[in-house]
Structure 1
Amino acid sequence: MTNRKSELETLRADLQARLSRYEAHQHREGGALEKDFEEQATQTQNDEVVDSLESETRAELTQVEHALERIENGVGDECESCGEAIDPRRLQVLPYTTVCIDCADD
């Protein structure tokens, strides 16, 4: 469990760093939009991609935080739907999962 917790804490730090970079991009910390209209169009498209990446990162961070909370509460290896043990191989592949494979398929 300690290895999984450590892995989740590392993942959390990585996700938080990514969010900081995305937020810096969205706040134009690198500079304002280009004066050229075509460049502005490209930058706007990039903004949409960054928005999508930011949303995905926030969702993953929420899952990581939830998994860490469950570990702290001593139930990190139990499925939160059925209460059965989550297969260690599943936890190794998807360390922030909180449900067993059977409940994930439902």
Structure 2
Amino acid sequence: MDTDQIEKDLNTRLVELEARLEKIKQDATREHSSDSAEKAQERENDEVLDQLGNETQVSIQRIKAALQRIAEGTYGICDHCGEDIQPGRLEIMPESTRCVNCAD
């Protein structure tokens, strides 16, 4: 398993997610319209932005945790059973903490 490439990919993804989160924060703090119909739509949009922001923060935390595991030398080891996480799983979900058997 090429952890150097995985680390590079995770760092790239982290930068992208942090930029997305910043954009979401900017959009969420914009001023609302005084028109009541538009205001209702804007509030719905704010709820969507809030959910996207929360999901993005969770993804950022998972990526940072994966980068920490790489630094500690524990990346790719299931945190439940201690066995190796299958390389195919890590290719698809590089932030995985559990092998396929323990993920269920």
Shorter-chain TM band? over 0.9
TM-score (norm 2): 0.94
- Identity of counterpart residues, as a percentage? 36
Alignment of 1:52-67 (within 5 A): 52-67=51-66
- Provide the rounded CA distance (Å) in 2 between the counterparts of 1:80 and 1:7: 22
How many pairs align?
102
Partner of 2:6 in structure 1? Answer: 4
For 2:102, the equivalent position in structure 1 comes to 103
Q: CA deviation at 1:9?
A: 0.5
Which residue of 2 is the match for residue 25 of structure 1?
27
Equivalences for 1:19-98 in 2 at 5 Å? 19-28=21-30, 32-98=31-97
Q: Which runs of 4+ in 1 moved over 6 A?
A: none
Which consecutive unaligned segments of at least 5 residues does structure 1 have? Answer: none
RMSD, matched Cα: 0.8
Provide the C-alpha distance between the structure 2 equivalents of 1:87 and 1:6, rounded to a whole number of angstroms.
Answer: 19
CA distance in 2, matches of 1:70, 1:83: 13
